[in-house]
Structures are given as structure tokens and as C-alpha cells.
Amino acid sequence: MRNFMGSVNVRQILLPIGQMAIFITGAGAVCSGVMLVLALLFRGSGADHILQATQGVGILTYTLNSLPQVLIDGVTIGFVYAAIALGYTMVYGILQFINFAHSEIFAIGAFCGVESLIALNGLGALAKASAMGSFMYLGLALIIGMAAAGGMAVLVERVAYRPLRSSPTLIALISAIGVSFALQDVIRLAESMTSGQFYRVIPTFGNFDEHITLFQIGSTVIDIQVKSVVVILAAVIMLVALNYLVGSTKVGKAIRAVSQDKHTAALMGINVNAMISLTFLVGGSLGGAAGVLYALKFTRIDPFVGFMPGIKAFAAAVLGGIGNLTGALLGGMVLGMIESFAGAYLGTYTMGTFGAEYKDMVAFLILILVIVFRPNGLLGEQISQKA
């Protein structure tokens, strides 16, 4: 036992969990605080009167009652964004290049996972599955999604990025956009040829749709869906595993070396191409897993499903400081929170003038503001001002 503990760096496992806890409570506390101040300010406004008339509660009570639910939603979606953002940030860290096709890697993971679940459902396996069995099947779908997405990411790197490694960044970026567009239609082509449908819906199985009651305040019940718990748990495990891989294994050390200086790393006997492929594999499979989790949470996916989460996750990566793994986590959490709050309260507070449809725009605005005013992100990783 002692031997085992000696070889596993416990600090590397506990540290990211601690970080996550701090980020979640921090982002949640800041957002809730701002919201409560707003609620106090909005007392007696038109929005308050409307709420009094329709629901019989003041705006402060209304906000307080819905706050826990909004926070839980924010954390769930934040973890999905964080898992996608890690793919962007890893690739940026090693190649200083935005892998635009990552959003489609995510979509491929989602599709492969969902397709395998649909196939299992066709065999009748899902309907008969026990509670434990349904988790097993979900795990299987996750693994299939991860494998497909990781494989595709490696393939894309080999075909479209490696030949361009010595070209100017913009050339590689345009190539990445091309890959992203082509993959969208490849998914669509494959789907329309095989299933004849444009979108897929994840089959309902197990107890993922049930709600677990967390606690009760007065008459309002605060609950969390089983699938949200699954999403959060799976994401936490993956993030910890990734942190361990990069932070305290030999391979991780090699990856870090390559991202610092490719030529010197090559001189030290590190196979640079292999490390870059590995980065794409790891980042891609994280994205693929995020895709399956996304499908589980939102049930319906179509070939263009990757675009919005992809761009938001990129915003999250930039927000946290691109190239910085901890930053991606923080950025994902903050973005998830902000989006969840915007979606929940924007409509009520502006009396329906600006509804939840503006929550996508919030992400874009954050992206622009962060890039313009704090391009190094919240955690301040130094990025080069390369053209």
C-alpha cells in the first residue's frame, strides 16, 4: 500500500479538486451576489410589479427561490464547457494555434456515443437494463464517443495541420476552419445516408431523468437531475485524470517540454510529432466525452451542434487564459454561471424585452471584451502577441 501511495502523487489529485471547489464557490458566490444586489435595486420596478401580479411574489423572493437551481444548472453546463475548453487550450499550449475543428470533434463524439446507445436500444438492451446496467451502458457510450473523437482529432492533425506547421498561423487557421466545415457535412452525410434523419435523439433509459431532492426551503424544492450529477461526476473524473496525466507523468512532462520549446525537446530525445498527436488524442477524447455528456443533458443533437458550445468553450479558454489548464476550468465555470444566470433572469428583469435568446450573445460579448481588454485571461498566462 505504501508503495502504491508513493508512486501516485496524491497532491496532483487533490489539488485540482480543491481548485474546482474554489472556482465553483467563487464564481457562484460572485454571480449570486451581483444578482441579489440587482434584485434589491429592482424592487418596486416594473418587473417587480409584473411578478407580483402573475406569481404573487416580489422580485427579491423570486430571485432567492430560483437561485439554487440556476447555480446547479450553471455548474453542470460549466463542466461541459470546461471539458471542451481543455481541448482548445491544450492544442493552443503546444502549437499556438486555435483548433477550430474542435467543435466538430465534439459533435463527432456526441454522435458516436448517441448512435451506439441507439443501437443498444435497438437490441433491447437498454430497456431491460438495471440501474447499474444503465450506468454501464452510458460508460460504454462515453468510451466509444471518446475513442471516435480522439481518433478523428489525431487524423485531422495528421492530414490538415501537420503539413502546415511551418506556415504562418493564419494559413493553419484557415485550414482548421475548412476542416470544421467539411466535418459538419461529413457527419450530416453519414447520418442522412444511414438513418435518413437530420438529427438524433438520445434514447431514454435508466433513471437519468429523475430528480433527487437536495433540500427544501419553505415550499420550494431544490432538486438536481440524475443526469446532471452524472455530467458533473464524469467531468470531474476526467479533469482530475487529465491534470494528473499532464502534471505528474513522464508523458505529461514530455508534452510540457514540447509546448515550451519543440527544438530543444527534440534534442532531449522526445518524439515531438508523437507528443503533438497525443495532445490531439487527449484533447479530442475529452471533447468527445463532453459531446456525449452534452447529448445526455440536452437530449437532441444535430450535425451543427458543435458550433455554439465550441465557440463558448473557446471563449471560456480565452477567459481563463488560453494555454493554461486551470484557466480553462475557471473560464468554463464562469461562462457556465454567467450563461445560466443570463438565461434565467434576463427575461424577467427586462420585462421580456431581452429574453433568454440573448444568452448566446453574452458569450460572444465576453469573448470580445476579454480578448480586447485582457488577452492574457483571468489567470494571466503569458501569451505571445504573435501574428
- Tell how strand 300-301 and strand 200-201 pair up: antiparallel
Binding of other proteins by 257 (CB under 8 A): no
Q: Which listed residue (198, 212, 237, 268) binds other proteins by CB under 8 A?
A: 198
**Axis-axis angle for helices 272-298, 131-156 (nearest 10):** 140
Binding of other proteins by 199 (CB under 8 A): no
Binding of other proteins by 314 (CB under 8 A): yes
Binding of other proteins by 380 (CB under 8 A): no
Q: Which listed residue (41, 177, 214, 268) binds other proteins by CB under 8 A?
A: 177
Binding pattern for the stretch 340-369 against other proteins, x by CB under 8 A and - elsewhere:
------------xxxx-xx-xx--xx-xx-
51 close to 310: Cβ distance less than 8 angstroms: no
Tell me how many residues contact other proteins (CB under 8 A). Answer: 57
Ramachandran assignment for 211, one of left (phi > 0), alpha (psi -120 to 50 degrees), beta (any other): beta
Q: Which listed residue (72, 90, 172, 329) binds other proteins by CB under 8 A?
A: 172
Which of 50, 164 has the CB closer to other proteins?
Answer: 164
Binding of other proteins by 267 (CB under 8 A): no
Mark 258-275 as b/e (b = at least 16 C-beta within 10 Å). Answer: bbeebeebeeeebebeeb
Q: Which listed residue (25, 55, 192, 249) binds other proteins by CB under 8 A?
A: 192
Does residue 87 sit in helix, strand or coil? helix
Q: How far is CA 116 from CA 196, 201, 203, in A?
A: 17, 12, 10
51 close to 73: Cβ distance less than 8 angstroms: no
Q: Which listed residue (3, 54, 130, 166) binds other proteins by CB under 8 A?
A: 166
Binding of other proteins by 178 (CB under 8 A): yes
| Alpha-helical segments (H) within 157-225 | 169-194
Which stretch, 24-32, 68-76, 171-179, 333-341, contacts other proteins (CB under 8 A)? 171-179
Binding pattern for the stretch 282-311 against other proteins, x by CB under 8 A and - elsewhere:
-------------------------x---x
Q: How far is CA 220 from CA 214, 264, 375, in A?
A: 11, 60, 42
Count Cβ atoms within 10 A of the Cβ of residue 322 and give its class: 0-12 exposed, 13-18 middle, 19 or more buried: buried
Q: Which residues bind other proteins (CB under 8 A)?
A: 97-98, 159-160, 163-164, 166-167, 169-175, 177-186, 188-189, 191-193, 196-198, 262, 307, 311, 314-315, 318, 352-355, 357-358, 360-361, 364-365, 367-368, 371-372, 375, 385-387
